[in-house]
Structure 1
Amino acid sequence: MMQDKKPADVIIVGGGTAAFAGAIRAADQGAQVLIVEEGKIGGTCVNWGCVPSKTLIARADEYQCVRHEQRFGLETSGEINLELLFENQRFTVDRVRNSHYEGMLAAYPGIEVLKGHGRFVAPDTLDVNGEHYQSERFLVAAGGRPRTLNIPGLKETGFLTSHSILQRKTLPESLLVLGGGVIALEMGQMLSRLGTRVTIVERNDRLLKEFDRRLSEKFHALLESEGVHVELGVETLRTYREDDQVVICGRRENEGFCLQAHELLLAVGTAPATDRLGCDTAGIALTEEGFIAVDEEMGTSVKGIWAAGDITGGPLIAPAGAHEAEVAVDNMFHPEKHRRIDHRMTPMAVFTVPEFAVVGIFTPSWQPNSLDIVDAFLDLERVDKAHIVDRRHGGILVCADRENGRLLGVQMLGDRAADVIQAAAVAIRCGMSVFDLADTVTVYPAISEGLQLAARACVRKLQQVS
């Protein structure tokens, strides 16, 4: 006979970034928190995503620099020690998990971690390892997993995902990457720089379609110059294995062709981990894509159940999930505050080299000639620091309200774009105008000077149309 355990003030399903942010927020308010996690503490970002991938991206960039130092009169040589490379990756992951997650628990005695899979058997009851845990408040932050496609032959062919490829101890000799988004570009460029022959296969007519074409096409050209082969506009029809090769058969403009490599990486986005949560039993509504549907206060369709992070859909980035969890917990314990999520000011980045970054109103249907806005584009060639570090590929796009010059959005491709975009995020949040940005003194030489120069270009446009 199953026994009901003493209820916690809040039970959190998941043990990643969003889950821990919510747990700390609740514990800081004196709550007793139970985290239910069946995998490794730290979730996708720490164990299989951001930390391991960005570690390898950093090492690959260093290796790329070493191989090109002769252009500057520096005689260097270097070979890849794969054993040491992957040992450093594992060490970094363990260090981040221990310091930011497992080690942090000692400072919060009100947080308990229970190892096991959690599944709702009622709106107020979670089954974990055959035992029932009840609470008046639940936060579902179980994250997501790599999305797969229903392509004939794919299952039989076998493929790597963004998770499994980072657990390898060897590099593929050649690789087909199916997808042209964030994961595909980060992984494809990194592996190419470490010596893998990479072909990116994308169904759209350009890479990273969420960004302005002027930026994505600059990066496409850079990838090709580094030896990455890119196939656009491809409809993948089937896959199969032939000896030690994976073969993709596709079609482009009614013309069929095949591509082959030693391995296939599926990099087509993230699917929500909702299939084993008992959402139907609890009455939790899902979106058409299978994510948990939430309102602006991160509440679900069921009273007493909130959700945060990747399991609720985009933006699929760890800091956004952490913020959502904090908002959810605040609304649990202080419903009168009605805290709401507004991701219009949430920045995101793509950790290619150079980096992409964006914040503000930009969408895939972005129309720079809209009557309500004015935009200005600055090529990174205009920024002195880009010449100093010899990283001139890129640009900055600034968008402002035509009526008052208020900064609405920024897109960027360039060295340290992920750092520079934070200044734009703060400016948008504080209601600054492009006039304010243009009049702000910058550090010199610095890539961030480009944000000021782009703002000045936008000011000139505003003055022309006023």
Structure 2
Amino acid sequence: MNKTIKTDICVIGAGSGGLSVAAGAVQMGADVVLIEKGKMGGDCLNTGCVPSKALLAAGHAAENARTAERFGVFTNPVEVDFAKAIDYVHSVINGIAPHDSVERFEELGCTVIQAEAQFTSPTEVIAGDTIIHAKRFVIATGSRAAVPPIPGLENVGYFTNETIFENRTCPDHLIIIGGGPIGLEMAQAHQKLGAKVTVIEMMSILPKDDPDMVAVVRENITAGGITLYEQTKTKEVRKAGDQVQVVVDHNGIEITLEGSHLLLATGRKANIENLGLDKAGVKYDRSGIAVDPRLRTSTPKIFAIGDVTGGLQFTHMAGYDAGIVIRNALFRLPSKVNHTSVPWVTYTNPELAQVGMNEATARREIGDDIRVVKWDYAENDRARAEGDTTGFIKVITTKKGRILGAGIVGRQAGELIGVWALAISKKMKIGAIAEMIMPYPTLGEISKRAAGAWYTPSLFSDKTRKLVRFLLKFA
């Protein structure tokens, strides 16, 4: 017999976005039901951000050991135990999991139901043997790896991000289809841990990022031993004994690549199946659920956040969306999303971070009425001290100095981009960054130096020199 629960907010999906809504709402006094059919923590914790960065950390550790001789540190030949690296990945997941667990959210006061949720009307959801009536619903079901329609794929075993972290044997030759952030991060992690790696990309790698910065990433990943095929179409995959063959069209020439393992990193697909969206009156298409700027669906009391909307697919965006929903659903504030200051990072070595407009976007939308300044890592004393001077920062402003965007490629770029995200969100001018007092020696100085470089043409102009000479006559 079904039981019925009446609640203020019902959240469907316990990934980063859903957990943020549930935790925030229940601690603010709302009655919350949280439904999750899979693992608590969702993709980010179990198969995405956390395990990928942990495996990258293992790869970086191996590479640092191999290159320690340049610091006068000598090691025995570096050996990698790939299975132990995977153990490390799962230890990181297990360390974070209690924070996202059923137990924690029940302690906070949520009613947690572990079952598949399906709308039966705009105001009702059924999950397992429970019927939930809620004043507001939040759909936060995320996304999953998209599997492209490549001929022969159904006959060949392959990994996605959802299965790659269960593999405990280092591939002899890992072929990766997809040169976006997931594909490149996994390429570097596996290459540094001992695998031969080939990456196939239909377009250009990292197409959403500044091409000048992508060029630095491209040079470093290929210099590290990864084989990269860009502007290359995958035509077919097939089994060849215990190997996998990938047939590609590269510059009009058909090439057959052979490897031991195959990883698909060809984008994401919103999880909208079996939710009963039609019965809820929620509009959607292949890309995801349609929402307005307040993240309301076509049924105003049903919200959707994160990857399931088909928008920017970052964990931090799901968390940001959660705040918008809480302000709308709990406080009736007409809060709207604003994507002008959303940062993103690709955690390759070097890292590539971007916020706001890149140079190409600014020139397309604003024209030539912009200014662009750059500053190289090679001019930073901390980068020199640590022996890693690869990369640069690029900042785009209006002619009057309002910051439109910034990109950083280099060591710890993801840690450095935050100050620019703040500046853009607060509509600051570049003078605010130039006036900051940064500790020395830090990589953070590259932001201050780039901002200072913006003023170089005017500060050291003939006009300024004449003014100084005039004023000194009266000293």
TM-score, shorter chain, exceeding 0.5:
yes
Q: Which residue is 2:111 aligned to?
A: 112
> Secondary structure of 2:292's partner?
coil
Partner deviation per Cα, 1:65-123 (whole Å, 9 max, x = no partner): 001111221111332223332222211101101135445325412x1110111111211
Distance 1:358 1:461, change over 3 A: farther
Distance 1:376 1:332, change over 3 A: same
Distance in 2 between the 1:147 and 1:363 partners?
30
- Alpha-carbon shift at residue 169 of structure 1 (Å): 1.7
Of residues 431, 443, 453 in structure 1, which corresponds to 2:427?
A: 431
**1:272 partner amino acid:** A
Distance in 2 between the 1:169 and 1:363 partners?
42
Q: Which residue is 1:58 aligned to?
A: 57
- Alpha-carbon shift at residue 158 of structure 1 (Å): 2.7
Q: Which residue is 1:7 aligned to?
A: 6
Partner deviation per Cα, 1:400-442 (whole Å, 9 max, x = no partner): 112x201111111111111111111112222221122122221
- Alpha-carbon shift at residue 159 of structure 1 (Å): 1.5
* 1:207/1:217 contact within 8 Å kept: no
Q: Which residue is 1:457 aligned to?
A: 453
Distance in 2 between the 1:131 and 1:30 partners?
23
* 1:249/1:257 contact within 8 Å kept: yes
Partner deviation per Cα, 1:335-383 (whole Å, 9 max, x = no partner): 2x20111121121111112211111123874538922321122222222
Q: Which residue is 2:371 aligned to?
A: 374
- Could you tell me the TM-score, scaled by structure 1's length? 0.94
Q: Which residue is 2:467 aligned to?
A: none
Distance 1:436 1:393, change over 3 A: same
* 2:153/2:237 contact within 8 Å kept: yes
- Alpha-carbon shift at residue 39 of structure 1 (Å): 0.8
* 1:211/1:364 contact within 8 Å kept: no
- Alpha-carbon shift at residue 22 of structure 1 (Å): 0.3
Q: Which residue is 1:347 aligned to?
A: 343
- Alpha-carbon shift at residue 128 of structure 1 (Å): 1.2
Of residues 210, 233, 237 in structure 2, which corresponds to 1:212?
A: 210
Kindly name which structure, 1 or 2, has the bigger radius of gyration based on alpha carbons.
2
Q: Which residue is 2:403 aligned to?
A: 407
Structure 2 residue ranges without an equivalent (≥5):
464-475
* 2:359/2:396 contact within 8 Å kept: no
Distance in 2 between the 1:113 and 1:353 partners?
40
Of residues 327, 352, 363 in structure 2, which corresponds to 1:330?
A: 327
Q: How many residues are aligned here?
A: 459
Larger CA deviation: 405-414 vs 423-432: 423-432
- Counterpart mapping for 1:117-156 below 5 A: 117-156=116-155
Of residues 250, 253, 260 in structure 2, which corresponds to 1:252?
A: 250
Q: Which residue is 1:294 aligned to?
A: 291
Q: Equivalent pairs: percent with the same residue?
A: 28
Distance in 2 between the 1:408 and 1:218 partners?
22
- Counterpart mapping for 1:43-122 below 5 A: 43-77=42-76, 78-102=78-102, 104-105=104-105, 107-109=107-109, 111-122=110-121
> Secondary structure of 2:21's partner?
helix
* 2:86/2:165 contact within 8 Å kept: no
Distance in 2 between the 1:462 and 1:102 partners?
59
Larger CA deviation: 254-263 vs 366-375: 366-375
Larger CA deviation: 231-240 vs 191-200: 231-240
> Secondary structure of 1:9's partner?
strand
**2:248 partner amino acid:** G
Tell me how large the CA RMSD over aligned residues is.
Answer: 2.0
- Alpha-carbon shift at residue 4 of structure 1 (Å): 5.3
Distance in 2 between the 1:88 and 1:237 partners?
36
Distance 1:370 1:382, change over 3 A: farther
- Could you tell me the TM-score, scaled by structure 2's length? 0.92
> Secondary structure of 1:257's partner?
strand
Structure 1 residue ranges without an equivalent (≥5):
none
Distance in 1 between the 2:290 and 2:84 partners?
44
